[in-house]
Amino acid sequence: MKNMALFLGLDTSAYTTSIALVNHQHQVVVDERIPLMVKPGERGLRQSQALFFHVQNLPKLFNRLPAGLSGEVVAIAASAWPRRVKDSYMPVFLAGQNQARILSAFAGLPLYLVSHQEGHIMAALLGNEALLQQECFLAVHFSGGTSEIMRVGRHDEDVLQIETGMSGLDLHAGQLVDRVGVAMGLSFPAGPELEELALKSEGRDTPPLTTFVRDEGFSFSGIETQVLRLIASGHKREDIALTLFRAVGRTLEKALLKESARTGCRHVLLAGGVMANSIIKEHLLHRLEHPAVGLKLYFAHPRLCSDNAIGVARLAAMLYHRNKPVDAHTTG
């Protein structure tokens, strides 16, 4: 293998077009992204709109690549599904997947199709590789399209062995944050702006919200209803934002305690856009790393929490190095 061997990853999620290149040591060589634009006052994009934007954005991202790198690429991976489970499908992933198929066929390179969720976990593991020495760990993926806790086991036979645990029963955590933000007049996505408001709150007038966590999963729709009532009653936006993030933190805290008791896993990796929130992070560290509880938390770097193709590129490298047959991680 050449010293400059590179691995290309493509991810076309609901709100970001991404490509990335890593070398055989998993060092990030290229990380390029274009967020998809949402009109003011709207709460998201239709899949058809997002797919159209991805088709427009991918050539722009490839034009940003430094000259001379294309000849060093030895394998490609693309997100093809939200999760690696039956019937997991979103049209947006066709953009990146089809672009990767074209590049693979034209250049004669191996192509691995992976899940968006696997990409998030692999990106979050960058800098948290100590987790791979554990018998198992819990992986949290909280974003606008997923709210899920997974058990990740040993990697002897595969890159990631994922068992789905508790998940959201209605709204995803990111959806909750964005809906509340838009209802307060903020732009979409609302997470960063809402966090800025929350950090301005003095915390004296933040009525606690009821959380909903059951054995089969957790719910965020009830929290949305309570928050919308606070908005209508004229509570300060700063206090509403703070109590919202505290409620998300308490929900995840309760769910992780249940999953840790069920699986025996004591280490937790936290990924996805919602996990970049400093208020939620502080709450979880204070509550779950307390000596009486004894969990160990590993947070993805904030830039690796949002949608990106770095984890997908890392999967291309790992599958290639393990000499996996191309069809081992490919369907269609």
- Which tokens sit at 127? 């800098």
The structure tokens listed for 215 are: 């054995």
- In-domain check, residue 161: no
When pLDDT is averaged across residues 121-125 and rounded to a whole number, the result is 94
Name the region of 260 (left: φ>0; alpha: ψ -120 to 50; beta: rest). Answer: alpha
Three-class secondary structure of residue 122 per DSSP: helix
pLDDT at res. 332 = 35
Domain co-membership, 94 together with 47: yes
Strands 212-214 and 162-167: unpaired
The span from the first CA to the last CA of the chain, in angstroms, equals 29
Residue 1: its pLDDT value, please? 41
- Under 8 Å between Cβ of 256 and 140: yes
Question: What average pLDDT does the chain have?
Answer: 92
DSSP codes of every residue in 270-303:
EESGGGG-HHHHHHHHHHHSSTTT--EEEEPPHH
Q: Summarize the confidence of residues 55-79 as an average pLDDT.
A: 95
Residue 328 has pLDDT above 90, yes or no: no
* Burial of 136 from C-beta contacts in 10 A (0-12 / 13-18 / 19+): middle
Residues 200 and 101 in one domain: no
Is the pLDDT assigned to residue 207 strictly greater than 90? Answer: no
Confidence label for 6 from pLDDT (cuts 50, 70 and 90):
very high
**Number of separate domains in the chain:** 2
CB contact set of 146 (below 8 Å; sequence gap of 6+)? 82, 83, 117, 167, 168, 172, 272
Tokens 């760990």 — which residue?
137
Residues 93 and 115 in one domain: yes
Residue 289 and residue 181 share a domain = yes
Distance CA 184, CA 193 (A): 11
Residue 140 domain-assigned (yes or no): no
Task: Check which CATH number belongs to the domain holding 49 and give it.
Answer: 3.30.420.40
Report, as an integer, the average pLDDT of 59-86. 93
What are the pLDDT digits (tens) for 287-314? Answer: 999 999 999 999 999 899 989 999 999 9
Position 70 scores a pLDDT of 87
pLDDT of 20 reads: 98
The answer to whether residue 145 is domain-embedded is: no
Q: How far apart are CA 284 and CA 219, in angstroms?
A: 18
Phi-psi region at 29: left, alpha or beta (left = phi > 0; alpha = psi -120 to 50): alpha
Cis amide linkage into residue 110, ω under 30° from 0: no
Closest CA to 315 of 178, 116, 133, 134: 116
Q: Find all residues with CB under 8 Å of 99, minimum gap 6, and list them.
A: 10, 58, 78
Cβ atoms of 316 and 8 within 8 Å: the answer is yes
Q: Binning pLDDT at 50, 70 and 90, where does residue 329 land?
A: very low
Task: Tell me if 92 is assigned to some domain.
Answer: yes
pLDDT reported for residue 323? 75
Q: Are residues 183 and 75 in the same domain?
A: no
Range of 227's domain? 173-300
Residue 327 clears pLDDT 60, i.e. is over it: no
As a whole number, mean pLDDT of residues 176-198 equals: 95
- pLDDT tens for 221-274 read 999 999 999 999 999 999 999 999 999 999 999 999 999 999 999 999 999 899
Task: Return the C-alpha torsion angle 7, 275, 192, 226, nearest 10.
Answer: 140
Residue with tokens 């890159």: 159
Is 166 part of a structural domain of the chain? Answer: no
Q: How far apart are CA 85 and CA 159, in angstroms?
A: 15
Overall pTM surpassing 0.85 (yes/no): yes
Q: Which of 132 and 291 is assigned the larger pLDDT?
A: 291
- How high is the pLDDT of residue 76? 98
